[in-house]
Homo-oligomer: A and B are copies of this chain.
Amino acid sequence: MTKIRKEQPKRHLAAEIAAAITEGAYRPGEWLRQIDLEETFAAKRFDVRSALSELAARGMVTHVANRGYQVMRPDLTVVREMLAIRILLEVEAVTQALPHIGPAELERIKSAQKAFENAVARGSKADQANSNAAFHDEIYRHAPNRSLSKFVVEIRNRVIPGPIALWPSYADLQRSAAHHVDIVSAIETRDIDALVAAVRRHITESGANYPAGDRGQGHTEASAARP
Q: Are A85 and B148 interface neighbours, CB within 8 A? A: yes
Quick check: is A10 within 8 A (CB to CB) of the other chain?
yes
Kindly state whether residue A147 has any CB partner on chain B within 8 Å.
yes
**A53: B residues at CB distance < 8 A:** 50, 54
Top 9 A-B pairs ranked by shortest CB distance? Answer: A81-B147, A50-B50, A54-B54, A81-B145, A50-B53, A88-B92, A78-B147, A82-B147, A84-B145
A-B contact pairs, 8 of them (CB 8 A): A46-B49, A50-B53, A50-B54, A53-B54, A54-B57, A81-B146, A85-B148, A88-B88
Tally of chain A residues near chain B (CB < 8 A): 25
Separation in Å of the A214 CB from the closest CB of chain B?
17
Give the residues from 47 to 75 in chain A that come closer than 8 angstroms, CB to CB, to chain B.
49-50, 53-54, 57, 63, 65
Question: Given known contacts A14-B57, A82-B147, A84-B148, what 19 new A-B pairs fall within 8 Å (CB)?
Answer: A10-B63, A12-B57, A14-B54, A46-B46, A46-B49, A50-B53, A53-B54, A54-B57, A78-B147, A81-B145, A81-B146, A81-B147, A81-B148, A85-B145, A85-B147, A85-B148, A85-B151, A88-B89, A88-B92
**Mask of A125-154 contacts with B, CB within 8 angstroms, 1/0:** 000000000000000000001111001000
Q: How far is the CB of A175 from chain B (nearest CB, A)?
A: 25
Q: Which residue of B lies closest to A15 (CB)?
A: B57
CB-based nearest B residue for A96: B84
Contacts of A54 in B (CB 8 A): 14, 50, 53-54, 57
